[in-house]
Amino acid sequence: MKGINMIQLAKELGLSVSTVSKALGDSHEISSSTKKRVMELAKKYNYKPNPFASNLRKKKGKQIAVIIPDIVNNFFALAVDGIESVTMAKHYDTFIYLTHENLEREKSVLEHLENGLISGLIISVCTGREGYGHFQQFYESARLPMVFFDRVPDLLQFPKVISNNYESTFESTERLIKAGSKRPLFIQTEEPLYTLMERRRGFQDALVANGISFTDESLITCTENMEDNYLLLKKLFSSRKRPDGIFAPIEKFAITVYQVCRDLKLNIPKDLKVIGMTNLRTAALLNPSLSTLSQPAFDMGREAATLLLKMIEKKSYAAANDIIVLANELTIRDSV
């Protein structure tokens, strides 16, 4: 007994389809008595309007897409949780697409979504600052509301939800220095990314503000290949000029630092003070407990979704230039 449709409802009620449609839409054109009749029969038969028919006719639906680099990462998982909490409440359906830091994949997802399946987009871009053109292009042709969060394309005018990366990294770095670090190190990625550049800027300014010179040795570049990173850091940490403090602006880098220290038997925090930017729930249980700068991931997701739905419903998809900034949270534990 597959779902009933409006036509059958109308027939049984002795009404026209249009009346039924309007009644279900709670239109003022319909008397409250017939409305009630319709609603009741609809409930009795568990009638559900066919979203394809309805979306086709209305030329829009209640589906949105989330494009993120990764889901196996507490930050993004929390963000999705936040997003879902609002789409769920507002009866939107949420598609999820993972790019795995692959620009081509990001492009192809976007291209796919030009078919009109969705009414809005929440995005966190993958690394690499070259490729923002596809977003602009997508917007030109699809004209859909888009909200970026955390990893945002700084060069594009879109609504964004970010956290205070510069300030909080500045503060974190100062804590490293005040705890005694003379040679702090910042781990940067191969591919540039606005979010990370802000963190780096905070790091750099904190050094300078505290009388430490910022040199080539204040930075190391890690890649997507975790084994390479492990070896790279191992080599650096074994050298005579090894750093005595680390700010890891990405979760997995912090983990690698711990692995290397464990294997080299370096003492954290004595030999090396560590602050990692992460939302790991187990940070406090690591050996030693990891000092973290954590992002309000859930809230960022929630804010992004709230903003997006507002744009969708108000049809104000003019590239609103709202930027919502939330605060990161620094938690100092034994690793500093």
Contacts with its own copies by CB under 8 A lie at 1-3, 46, 48-53, 55-56, 61, 63, 70-74, 77-78, 80-81, 84, 88, 91, 93-98, 105, 112, 114-117, 140-143, 255, 258-259, 262, 280-282, 284-289
Contact 187, 247 (CB under 8 A): yes
DSSP H or E run through 219: strand 219-222
Binding partner of residue 34 among its own copies, DNA, none, CB cut-off 5 to 8 Å per kind? DNA
Among 30, 65, 126, 248, binds DNA (CB under 7 A): 30
96 binds, among its own copies, DNA, none (CB under 5 to 8 A by kind): its own copies
Cα 175 to Cα 271: distance, rounded to the nearest angstrom: 16
- 219 class by beta-carbon count within 10 Å (0-12 exposed, 13-18 middle, 19+ buried): middle
Q: How far apart are CA 250 and CA 289, in angstroms?
A: 17
Residues 55-94 that bind DNA (CB under 7 A): 56-59
29 binds, among DNA, its own copies, none (CB under 5 to 8 A by kind): DNA
Residue 64 binds which one of DNA, its own copies, none, with CB within 5 to 8 A depending on kind?
none
Which lies closer to DNA via its Cβ, residue 12 or residue 228?
12
CB 173 → its own copies: shortest distance, Å? 23
The answer to whether residue 53 forms part of the interface with DNA (CB under 7 A) is yes
Instruction: Give the contact letters, 4-23, x = binds to DNA (CB under 7 A), - = no.
Output: -xxx------xxxxxx-xx-
Burial of 187 (0-12, 13-18, 19+ CB in 10 A): buried
- Tell me the closest approach of the beta carbon of residue 311 to DNA, in angstroms: 19
Cis peptide before 69 (omega within 30 of 0): no
What is the CB neighbour count within 10 angstroms for residue 210?
14
CB 149 within 8 A of CB 122: yes
Segments in 25-132 forming alpha helices (H): 32-44, 51-58, 74-89, 103-112
Residues in contact with DNA by the rule CB under 7 A: 5-7, 14-19, 21-22, 24-25, 29-31, 33-34, 47-50, 53-54, 56-59
